[in-house]
Amino acid sequence: MAKTIRMTMAQAVVHFMKKQMAVVDGQKVPIFGGVWAIFGHGNVAGMGEALYQVRDELPTYRAHNEQGMAHAAIAYAKASFRQRFMACTTSIGPGALNMVTAAGVAHANRLPVLFLPGDVFANRAPDPVLQQIEDFQDGTVSASDAFRPVTRYFDRITRPEQIIPALRRAMQVLTDPVDCGPVCLSLCQDVQAEAHDYPESFFEEKVWSFRRPLPDENELAAAAAALKASTRPVIIAGGGVLYSLATRELTAFAEKHGIPVVVSQAGKSAIDERHPLAMGSVGVTGTSAANTLAEEADMILAVGTRLQDFTTGSWAIFRDPDVAFIGVNTASFDAAKHGALPVVGDAKVTLEALSGALGGWSAPQALRDKAASVKAEWMRAADAAMAATNAPLPSDAQVIGATARHRGGENTVVLCAAGGLPGELHKLWPATAPGSYHLEYGFSCMGYEIAGGLGVKMARPDADVIVMVGDGSYMMLNSELATSVMLRRKITVVLLDNRGYGCINRLQMETGGANFNNLLEDSYYEEMPDIDFRKHAESMGAVAVKVSSIAELEQALDETRDNGRTTVILIDTDPLITTKAGGHWWDVAVPEVSPRDEVNRAREAYVKALAAQRIG
C-alpha cells in the first residue's frame, strides 16, 4: 500500500505549496514567493495554524487590506514574468469579496495568483454563520461564487480529499502559457480543519517548467508569405513578449528584417526605447512616431498582445484599407482577433522560426528612413513636454521628466495603473530594460499602485521602485504604505495632487460634458476637505516631503534615493494639461440627444470619427 500522512486539509495545502519549485535564472527556487493573509473566523483556525507550522519555509505576510495584498501578489507575478507567484488567504464574506476586484485585475492581465478564501461550513450545521451570504433559491451559493467570472479555475472544497485534484489543476493553470491567470480554491472552514490520510507522493517536490508551444508549419509558412508581400509592416509587441522572455529575439527579428516596433502598455520595455527601430507606444496613448507608422502600415505583426482598444485606437488607427494582420500568440483566442492570420505559438520560438522562414527578406529601406524621421520629430516633442518649468502647477509630463532624469535607468521600475498618468508614462517614460515599466492597464484598477509597488519590490528587492500615483488613486487604497514600512521594502511614491479625478474630468470635457463630480471643486460639498498627504504618509511610517516646484522635486528625488524607508514625495499639479503630441481617438460613446450644444457638437465629431473604425 502507498504510504500516507495524516493531516488537515489546510495543512495539506501549505505542505503541497512549499514543495512546488521553478528554475529561474538557472537557480531552483520555490514557485510560491509567499502567502498573503488577513485572518478571520473563516481561515484563522485552519489555514492560520497550517501556515504557522511552515512559516520558515513558506513565509506569510500580513497586509492591511485584502484587495491591497492581492494587488501586491499580482504585481509580484508580473515583475517575475509569471515564473513565480503568490497566494492570498482571507476569511469568508467581506474578506473574500475584497479580493474579487483584484481577481479581475489578474484575469484581464493573464497573471497567476492563487486565491484561498474561507467559505461557509460544508456540513451546514451552524448555518447561517457570521458573514454568510444566503441565497433564497440556491443553497450551494456563497460569497466566493463571485470569483467565478474573474478566475481561470474555481473550485469549492467540501471534502478534505478534494484538495488533491484541485491543487494539481490549480498548478496547471497557474503555469500554463495559455490558461494562465487567477485560481480560486474556496476552502470551507470546517473542512480546513478536517483530517485525511494523504498519500506521501502528493507532497513530493515538483519542478515546474514553462511550456513553449511551437508554431504550426502551415501557419508559419502563411505568415512568412504574407510578410514578404508587405512593404510597410509594423510589429506591435505586447506583454506576451516579456512573459516569454523573448525581448532579445524581438530586437534581433526587428533588426534583421528592418521592421519598426511599437508597444502596448503591457509590452512597453520589450525593446530598449533607445533602439532606432523602437517607436514607442501605440494607440490612444501612443507616440506620434508609432501612430504614424501604424496608420500607414499594410501589415501588422501582433506579437503577444490581446489588442485592447487603447492599443488599436478603438480599431480606428489602421488607415490602409487593405491592411492585414498576423497574430502571434500562445492563445488562439488572441491570435485570430479581427480576422488576423493566426500563428499560435510561444513568442520566443515563433519569432525565431518566422525569422528563419523569412530568410534574408527585409522591409524596404524607405520604411526605416521614415521611422528614423518620425522618431526624431517625436523625441523633440517629448523632450519639450518633459522639460523643467517654473510654473506654479506643473504638468504630469514635467513631473515624469524630472523623475526620469533623476531616478530613471535600467535598475528603476516605474509603476502606475489608472488616471491620466498611464497615458503620459506610456508616451514619455524611457523604458530601457525588460520589466522596467510596470503598468496595470488591462483592468486599469485605481488603488493598484502602492500595493503593486510593494509586490514589485518583493520580487525585485534590488530595484529602485518608483510608484507614480494621483491623489484620486492614492485615496482609493494607500494602506499598504504601512505594510511596506513594516516589511522594510522601500518604495518611492511620487504623488501628484490635482485635487480630484483629473483624467476623467478631461474626458468629460472632451465628450461635451460639463465639469461635474470629478474635480473636488466641481463636486457637491458643504466643506472642502484640506487633505495633508504629507502628514498622512508620515503617520503610516513613511518619509514624506512636499515640494512646490520641479526644481524641488528633482532635489527631493536625489536626496531620498539612498534612504532605507518608503518615501512619499508630494507635488501639486495642473489637472488640465496633457501632452498634445501623439495620442489617438478613443471610442467613448457620446449621447445622441442632449439639450446642451457642447454635447451635440461632441456627438457630431464622434459620429465622424466612427467612420474610420474597423468592424470585424
Helix/strand/coil (H/E/C) assignment for every residue in 274-338: CCCCEEEECCCCCCHHHHHHHHHCCEEEEECCCCCHHHHCCCCCCCCCCCEEEEEECCHHHHCHH
* Separation between Cα atoms, residue 200 and residue 17, nearest integer Å: 14
pLDDT, position 343:
98
Which CATH number is 387-572 given?
Answer: 3.40.50.970
pLDDT, position 544:
98
Paired with 551 in beta bridges are: none
Look at the chain and count its residues.
Answer: 616
Q: Say yes or no: do domains 4-208 and 217-377 share a fold.
A: yes
* Separation between Cα atoms, residue 437 and residue 492, nearest integer Å: 15
Residues 466-478 have a mean pLDDT of: 97
21 pLDDT tier (thresholds 50, 70, 90): very high
Q: Cα 282–286–288 angle (5° rounding)?
A: 105
Residues 453-476 have a mean pLDDT of: 98
> Residue 565: how many CB atoms within 10 A of its CB?
13
- The b-or-e profile of 584-598 (16+ CB within 10 A means b, else e) is bbbbeebeeeeeeee
Distance in angstroms between the alpha carbons of the first and the last residue of the chain: 59
- What are the counts of helices (DSSP H) followed by strands (DSSP E) for the chain? 24, 23
Contacts (Cβ under 8 Å, ≥6 apart) of 204: 19
Alpha helices in 429-544 (DSSP H): 448-459, 471-476, 480-487, 502-510, 533-539
2 pLDDT tier (thresholds 50, 70, 90): confident
207 pLDDT tier (thresholds 50, 70, 90): very high
Paired with 28 in beta bridges are: 23
pLDDT, position 614:
87
- The b-or-e profile of 326-338 (16+ CB within 10 A means b, else e) is bbbbbbeebbbbe
Name the CATH code of domain 217-377 (choices 3.30.1360.120, 3.30.2310.20, 3.40.50.1220, 3.20.20.80): 3.40.50.1220
* Separation between Cα atoms, residue 183 and residue 175, nearest integer Å: 11
Beta strands of 4-112 (E only): which ranges? 4-8, 20-24, 27-30, 32-37, 60-62, 85-90
On the question of pLDDT at 615 being above 90, the answer is no
On the question of pLDDT at 160 being above 80, the answer is yes
Q: Is 389 exposed, middle or buried, given 0-12, 13-18 or 19+ CB atoms closer than 10 A?
A: middle
**C-alpha distances in angstroms, 315 versus 14, 337, 497, 525, 529?**
46, 11, 33, 40, 41
pLDDT, position 501:
93
527 pLDDT tier (thresholds 50, 70, 90): very high
User: What are the φ/ψ torsions at residue 58 (nearest 5 degrees)?
Assistant: -130, 95
**Could you read off the pLDDT of 491-524 as tens digits, one per residue?**
999 999 999 999 999 999 999 999 999 999 999 9
On the question of pLDDT at 294 being above 90, the answer is yes
Domain boundaries, the chain: 4-208, 217-377, 387-572, 591-616
455 pLDDT tier (thresholds 50, 70, 90): very high
**Could you read off the pLDDT of 540-571 as tens digits, one per residue?**
999 999 999 999 999 999 999 999 999 999 99
* Separation between Cα atoms, residue 170 and residue 114, nearest integer Å: 8
CATH 3.20.10.10 is the classification of domain 4-208? no
Mapped onto helix, strand or coil, the DSSP state of residue 542 is coil
Q: What is the pTM of this model?
A: 0.97
Read off the DSSP letter of residue 123.
Answer: S
